[in-house]
Structure 1
Amino acid sequence: MEQQIRERPADRLPPWARGWSWRRVLAAAAVIVLVLVVAVSCLGSGGGRADVPVLADGPDAGVDGVRSPSDERGGTLRVVAPAVDSLDPQRSYLPGVWNLMRLYTRTLVTFDAAPGATGELVPDLATDLGAVSDDGLTWTYTLREGIRFENGRPITSGDVKYGIQRSFASDVIVGGPTYLVDLLDDPANPYPGPYSTEEDDPVLSSIETPDERTIVFRLRSPQPDLPYVLALPSSSPVPAEADTRGEYGADPVSSGPYAITSVDPETGIVLERNPEWDPATDEVRTALPDRVEVRTGLSGLARDQALLAGSADLDVSGTGVQAATTARLAAEDGAALLDRVDDVTTGAVRLLALPTDVAPMDDPACRAAVVAAIDRRAVQSALGGAVDAVRSTQLWPRALGGGPGGADAEPDPEAARAALADCGRPDGFATVLAVPDVRSSVDVADEIAAQLAAVDIDVEVRPLDPATFYATDVGNPGNVAANGYGLVLATRTADFPTAGSFLGPLVDGRSVARVGNPNYARLDDPEINALVDQARAGDADWAQVADAARASGAYVPLAETRIQLVSGQRLRNGVVMRPYDGYDVATAGVR
């Protein structure tokens, strides 16, 4: 006869939540009770539960597979979202909004919807992934036949060029990515965008459209990541005759399977089928629902409420559920909820930057002292433990293959003190740590300050406005130097899943900018710059760049963010879109 094993309460938690103190679990559970009461009350009658079966295939079913697969069309997909920065594809810079835009914008290439391969590119408006010249400077694409805007007009290469041209009008089209401006513009004679009427305006000759189906890009320097840039919504076509400039986001013209029919700050966004979209020209989007409703401007707690109560099917924020929501797993029906959870490591790497032009961080030995004193396990705990963060010792997101090796580094106070002696400061030194004034970041900053104090490095933690932190506070090198910010706690997230996108702006000395500087450490090492050029040309490995940058001591990788996605009760075809850290809206269904 089998021995009966008594189940411990902790065994009912998912592996990533075990180790939480029960004080934390119970405190969070109290919040969840309130969440559920409020959420259920929003559903009206019917016993307080959504009148639908709960679909769930087990933990992490959507990470490398499909959660509740179905090919049945119809119904309304209900989406919840935080505030939307813009529905104009050239003006948005939020990955969650980029996910939403898969419904009404198409690009030359796009991210695959295949389970487990969503970081890969596939042709979209184009017939292939592009033909590149031997020198890496010229890329040529051919558009598919039969592609049309929602008004029935064929989409041409000129429309793709015009959409890209809009991004050059920095006085009108603001907020979106400008990668193509950097790659295509002539610094000696900048192109002002399509709205300028000066007689001597230059033309954008770096994009050629020899016929309606061919578009050619001529780059200033090789950039193997160009296809990923072209997959961003900012590279989607716009018909010039429908362009309302800064107001275009109020009624963007669709090239995808849905068209926006209503935008209201109270009720949200409504999208309905675009009858001009031909599924024969689109191998990515399944467009199963008849209608998509997006409730915008919701807090994280409100989005969780809607998912748990059944009034929403998916959340496009890309931030996962709130910490308190995970405590629901300790309740009696926690196992059922766990079956609806997909655990995702996001690629957002939290790191400590040591500005190389701020004393004493201009001395490599002083930087080495900081590096040796860092305890990543304690940083992970400050971030909420393994449920919210994975320790990282490399300047490399886990999801990218081919990264540098290396074991989990432990703190070494003796090595830190020896490095202080080498930099001529055996009694330590004082510096300022700049950090966004966000609770989780300040908690980490306080922990780092305590660790460095143990080796006589006196750190003043200075919280700064999150709204201006990256743009002007630490994004302005002059401001960093003037304030003596010897340490900067930052988070690096690449716009697309390649090593070059993650590392290039961070470590290339030529990427240092006066506003919005992405090279937080102002690392400008000729050898590293040369390695970057070689990696872009395919003559070196990006892992070599990462190793060299880490060896400089200019950056200390700390941890990578983890989130938990919870699918709605009736979500079908739940595929985790890794570049956007959420379920792919373009293939989701509800039947």
Structure 2
Amino acid sequence: MTTASFTRRGILVATPLVLGAGTLAACSNSGSASSPDDGGKNGGTLTIFTTGEEMSFDPATSQNLAITTLGLTARRLTSWKTPADAPTELIPDLATDVGTPSKGGQTWTFTLQEGLQFEDGTPITAGTVKYGLERSFASELTGGLTYHKVLLEGGADYAGPFSDEHLDSIETPDDLTLVFHLNRPYGDFGWIASTPAFAPVPEDSGEPETYATEPVASGPYRLESYSPGSHATLVRNETWDVETDQARLGGPDSIEFSLAQDASVVAQAIIADRSDSQDAFLASFVPTAQLVQAQNDPNVGDRLVTSGPGALEYLALNTESDALKDVKVRQAIQYAVDKEAYRTAKGGEISGDYATTLITPGIAGREEYSLYADDPTGDVDQATALLEETGAGDLTLRLVITDDQTGTAESVQQGLKRAGITVTIQPLDENAYSSEVTAGDGSAYDLVLSSWQPDVPSPNANLTPLFDSSQIGHGNYNLARYDNPDVDAAILEASSTLDPEEAHAKWAAVDQQILEDSPVVPLIYSKNSFIHGSGVEKFVIGEFPAYPNYLTVELG
């Protein structure tokens, strides 16, 4: 989620996302991390309480992570294995492997497993995966992730398959083979193939707008009924075979999404372990009051699951602002910010770890370093010295926030005040925020509080959306409006590198290269707390992402 109070996930051509189902992460877990190889326990109805009022099961419009809601009904070419005590692993899903690159990483080939079927018994073929991807380009279907759209040859000019046009850069030489031709080498395409658009869709699936509530399942569950504001009921897809699926256990007989729920009320019921909440979990963060209650209730125990460090929360410095064009002024802000006060305003130690890097924990390629104040309270003397060096006196900056960020904004305001910087706080509603910040020309703000949860565990998904100059404005999330041609070139080189170790070293260097320019102040890597009933097992949150793996949850 990234806008002030939301955590937007990384996208190359961004579309807004608010994760109504919450953000989860790793540390403690109820039950041990399991492998789908054990076949799972079968039976019962799992209830997932969510604050969201509506759901969509169309992969073309989804920004779901590989391990959350849509992964229950729609398989992709690849998926993720998320053990609690090891890095997230890219694994095959529909495909037999995680992709074979050629032509220096500009062509990628995947082979499907034989015998896979949709819920109606029709075969899942390379053509249905191609059609599913092509649908995501249609103007009728918006909101989905767009990595593949900017990577596939001809993608910029393609308008979808509904007028019988097809994308030639996706080849299907036979029913089991897909060949993707990219417009440049790209080392992480195996991860991109785990995003929702890589789910198969039958070509006779009906009108494009109806698929969101009439999907044809390829995963262990199919949609039986759906009522906005009330529920979505998933039941077993009898054509799904656990032996073909490394990512999913398919344990419960059915899964009931209970929509439009009050998180505080649900949290209270689960804390009390009421009979109607024992086989359930809350898909949003435990609200602060209930979090304190759960921590102090010995009957809750390990049913309260707190993640390890996850999404990066940061202060974006508008590099186009006249007041912030001087890099030394921006570096002074690095020293002046009081990260301890910020974390306290968020709820203290349980809310996150102090951040000093841009690549987040749990992502391969991250290197720990600190360019600025090692003390989380800051270094006011160093900040003042830098400001005096630049001659920046009587500095007044406008900090844009959403309505629920007042406490954290005030902590930033007070920290900068120590160095003689005046901060005025301007709350905006979501529409105003979008028009003035993500879609605006940058003239409306100096500072923005935000956060970022990548879509895939790759430094590319951390750094490109926030710092590549192509992501300035137009609804994108380079909120610092940071434009450095050398960094753009370094990002391109790192993302084009196939060897993982070589790519990791390049990304680590890009991380520091960006932060030397100080376009953002890393604040904390947020931790999130979730709660489940006593009947829920294998509620596992891995090192990445900061979410529970819905695909492996079982009932005791």
TM-score, normalised by the number of residues in structure 2: 0.87
Give the 3 Å change call, closer, same or farther, for CA 380–164 of structure 1 in structure 2: same
Report the AA paired with residue 59 of structure 2: P
Q: Which gives a bigger RCO, structure 1 or 2 (Cα 8 Å, sep 6+)?
A: 2
Secondary structure of the residue aligned to 1:422 is helix
- Report the Cα offset of residue 280 of structure 1: 2.4
Aligned to 1:184: 152
Aligned to 1:432: 398
Q: Does 1:464 align with 2:428?
A: yes
- Report the Cα offset of residue 316 of structure 1: 6.1
Give the 3 Å change call, closer, same or farther, for CA 126–340 of structure 1 in structure 2: same
Residues 128-176 of structure 1, C-alpha deviation per residue, up to 9 Å, x if partnerless?
011001411110000000100011100011100111111111x311121
Q: Which ranges in structure 2 are unaligned for 5 or more consecutive residues?
A: 1-26
Aligned to 2:77: 108
Q: Does 1:175 align with 2:138?
A: no
Q: Equivalences for 1:1-20 in 2 at 5 Å?
A: none
- Report the Cα offset of residue 343 of structure 1: 1.6
Aligned to 2:20: none
Report the AA paired with residue 572 of structure 1: E
Give the 3 Å change call, closer, same or farther, for CA 226–401 of structure 1 in structure 2: closer
Give the 3 Å change call, closer, same or farther, for CA 248–98 of structure 1 in structure 2: farther
**Contact 2:294-2:304 at 8 Å conserved across structures:** no
**Contact 1:150-1:254 at 8 Å conserved across structures:** yes
Secondary structure of the residue aligned to 1:387 is helix
**Contact 2:539-2:553 at 8 Å conserved across structures:** yes
**Contact 1:148-1:276 at 8 Å conserved across structures:** yes
Q: Equivalences for 1:490-529 in 2 at 5 Å?
A: 490-512=450-472, 514-529=473-488
Q: Does 1:422 align with 2:389?
A: yes
**Contact 1:508-1:532 at 8 Å conserved across structures:** yes
Secondary structure of the residue aligned to 1:105 is coil
Cα distance in 2 for partners of 1:363, 1:184 equals: 38
Aligned to 2:200: 237
Q: Equivalences for 1:290-309 in 2 at 5 Å?
A: 290-308=253-271, 309=274
Q: Does 1:93 align with 2:56?
A: no
- Report the Cα offset of residue 406 of structure 1: 2.7
Q: Does 1:554 align with 2:519?
A: yes
Q: Does 1:248 align with 2:232?
A: no
Q: Which ranges in structure 1 are unaligned for 5 or more consecutive residues?
A: 1-58
Aligned to 2:357: 394
Give the 3 Å change call, closer, same or farther, for CA 380–531 of structure 1 in structure 2: same
- Report the Cα offset of residue 101 of structure 1: 1.6
Aligned to 1:122: 91
Cα distance in 2 for partners of 1:267, 1:580 equals: 28
**Contact 1:165-1:194 at 8 Å conserved across structures:** yes
Aligned to 2:334: 371
Give the 3 Å change call, closer, same or farther, for CA 74–63 of structure 1 in structure 2: closer
- Report the Cα offset of residue 580 of structure 1: 5.2
- Report the Cα offset of residue 504 of structure 1: 1.4
Report the AA paired with residue 412 of structure 1: D
Aligned to 2:10: none
Cα distance in 2 for partners of 1:393, 1:237 equals: 40
Report the AA paired with residue 106 of structure 1: R
Aligned to 1:584: 549
Give the 3 Å change call, closer, same or farther, for CA 270–185 of structure 1 in structure 2: same
Aligned to 2:322: 359
Give the 3 Å change call, closer, same or farther, for CA 327–158 of structure 1 in structure 2: same
Residues 210-263 of structure 1, C-alpha deviation per residue, up to 9 Å, x if partnerless?
111000111112222222221122220110101321121111000011111111
- Report the Cα offset of residue 117 of structure 1: 4.6
Give the 3 Å change call, closer, same or farther, for CA 92–459 of structure 1 in structure 2: same
What is the RMSD of the two structures over their aligned residues, measured on CA atoms? Answer: 2.4
TM-score, normalised by the number of residues in structure 1: 0.82
- Report the Cα offset of residue 579 of structure 1: 4.6
- Number of positions where the alignment pairs a residue of Structure 1 with one of Structure 2: 514
Bigger-Rg structure (1/2): 1
Pairing partner for 2:162 from 176, 187, 195? 195
Cα distance in 2 for partners of 1:378, 1:432 equals: 19
- Report the Cα offset of residue 368 of structure 1: 1.7
Report the AA paired with residue 29 of structure 2: A
**Contact 2:310-2:546 at 8 Å conserved across structures:** no
Report the AA paired with residue 407 of structure 2: D
Report the AA paired with residue 585 of structure 1: Y
- Report the Cα offset of residue 85 of structure 1: 4.3
**Contact 1:74-1:289 at 8 Å conserved across structures:** yes
Cα distance in 2 for partners of 1:562, 1:568 equals: 20
Aligned to 2:419: 455
Residues 327-346 of structure 1, C-alpha deviation per residue, up to 9 Å, x if partnerless?
22465xx2231232222035
Pairing partner for 1:325 from 268, 285, 290? 290
**Contact 2:304-2:531 at 8 Å conserved across structures:** yes
Pairing partner for 2:539 from 558, 568, 574? 574
